[in-house]
Amino acid sequence: MIRQLDVDGVPALLAPTTGPAHAGLMFRVGQADETLARRGITHLLEHLVLHPLGTADYHYNGSTGSVVTHFHLQGSVDDITTFLTGVCRSLRELPLDRLATEKGILRTEWSNRGNSVTDPIPLWRHGARDYGLSSFPEWGLSAITADELQEWAARYFTRENAVLWLAGDDIPAGLRLDLPSGSRLAAPVASSALPVTPAYFPGDSRATVLDAVVRRDAAASVFSGVLEREMFRALRQRDGLSYTAATHYEPRGDGYAVITALADALPEKQDAVLGGMVDVLAKMRIGRIEEADVAAVVGKATDALSTADADRARLPSAAFNLLTGHPIDTSDELSLQIKSVTPESVHKVATEALASSLLMTPHRRVADWAGFMAAPSGSTEAVTGTTHPGLGGLPQRLVVGVDGVSLITGVGDGVAGQDAEGGQDVPGNVATVRYDRCVAMLAWPDGGRQLIGDDAVAVRLEPTLYRDADPQPVDAVIPPQLRIDLPARDPQEIPRPETVYRASTKPRRSGVRDRLRILPVRERVKLVLTAFACLLCAILGVVLAVGILIGQVGPGRVLPVIGILGTSVYLGRSVQSTWRELTG
């Protein structure tokens, strides 16, 4: 049984263990509390706190999640006392002489971080704020000051905003948690960048991923397990389409939980996996819930709650519950709640999950045929102001106004995907960032700027792409605390009209006319003349060949006719090659 105690004003949870002692100190602060302009401040503080502890014989670590930051270790009673006392001392006396060094370490850590398939989903659901910030790099590191770190620690790392958990016989007698006084802070309210759900967006991977937000309860966790069984059976065992067909259930801290379902695929099976996932969801939406699946998931969950170390295993999640205002139930109470779940209650969760769902389809696939609405990928209107046409025939124009900036592209030529710095250039005919909704501005020494709105729409101002584009009017409006100065770019990384065109345009039939306009005049004339010569040779060759067949042209002209037709084929292949390059 988990006991609730108190250590120096910090709520504490204690449970027995059959193995080595474990302990953790958890605070209610995480990435969702940050802003994009200071993205990474909690992670940086966590690193600074752990540095004075140096190397130790016991295992310890820290982690920063969406809503909690966690310092934890495994070791002896003396190790626990030393570690936790040291964490509290570091929080009160941050080793700020290490600030520059730890920033460099974190930048290195981020540069070596592998991208997860699900990384884009928070951004599309929430935008560039609260729970959407986990999709973005830790851009704010360079701008974070010592004063800001100390203010962050004073606000969030207090005894009222912390919970201690310990797996062992008792609280160590010498343990002191010397933390400043503060207040318990609720989890951030989740924003939404989706006007309607269910919605979808095309991802950049081969996987199909479903993201759903449901009310947190036992039925929701069982639904997650039942959905995984259905996916595994249909997509892997029966049809052999996926290797990974799995779900993940994670409480968010605000009374809701996020369910993520993922199915991978080979390139040639992406459409089949997308269709198979939709079929599984449709089956559950209409209430075709297998009773045997519910029983299997319930049985597995209740078995885990009946083990000797069940309470010890639940300590971190119980600390999370206490921090976020969720009841801490006993193992028996949780077991009864799970056993009460029926196929009917799972069906209710399925209905709720699908109504809130965000589907990431494989690369360039759509899902409107399955009842999902396309998630907004741009803005509904542009600002008025000074227009800067694209250079080099680039079919885009930048508008800089008193209220914000807009990027307007030609039909079918939206700029999509991530730029070289990891920013999100969302596709669409209009992208607008208003100054009063700008959450960060990236700035390069060469004059390049990227404004990011709270809805994650981004607009790039590049003097090399737009006529007379000057960053000074924008620099004068954006508050200094939103500016993120980045290192100088390699000259090859500075965008040019021709490189932006190649990187941003994809094969779309509706965009061929604009692609032709981007070609230099000389190349356009060459293409037209080549096509005309090909057509002329083909007509002449056919006429002469017909003349030979009907006896109007002497048979001695056969070789010239073959030469003319061969020239036509050669010119035609040249035109065809250019056309394929234009249309992908």
SS3 assignment for 266-292:
CHHHHHHHHHHHHHHHHHHHCCCCCHH
**Segment 115-162, tens digit of pLDDT:** 889 999 999 999 999 999 999 999 999 999 999 999 999 999 999 999
**Segment 519-530, tens digit of pLDDT:** 445 555 676 777
Give pTM, 2 decimals.
Answer: 0.81
Length of the chain: 584
Q: Can you give the pLDDT at residue 335?
A: 97
Here the tokens at position 158 are 């207090």
CA dihedral 130, 132, 136, 141 (to 10 degrees): 10
Q: Can you give the pLDDT at residue 504?
A: 44
d(CA 145, CA 160): 25
Given a cut of 80, whether residue 174 has pLDDT beyond it is yes
Q: Can you give the pLDDT at residue 90?
A: 96
Q: What is the mean pLDDT of residues 296-305?
A: 97
**CB proximity list for 572: less than 8 A, separation 6 or greater:** 534, 538
Assign 118 to helix, strand or coil.
coil
Q: 70-74, 316-320, 416-420: which has the minimum mean pLDDT?
A: 416-420
Q: What is the mean pLDDT of residues 517-542?
A: 67
**Segment 198-214, tens digit of pLDDT:** 999 999 899 999 999 99
d(CA 574, CA 323): 68
**Segment 465-507, tens digit of pLDDT:** 999 999 999 999 999 999 999 999 999 999 988 776 554 433 3
Q: What Rg value do the Cα atoms of the chain yield, rounded?
A: 30
**CB proximity list for 223: less than 8 A, separation 6 or greater:** 214, 259, 346, 349, 350, 353
**What does residue 379 show for φ and ψ, rounded to 5 degrees?**
-120, 160
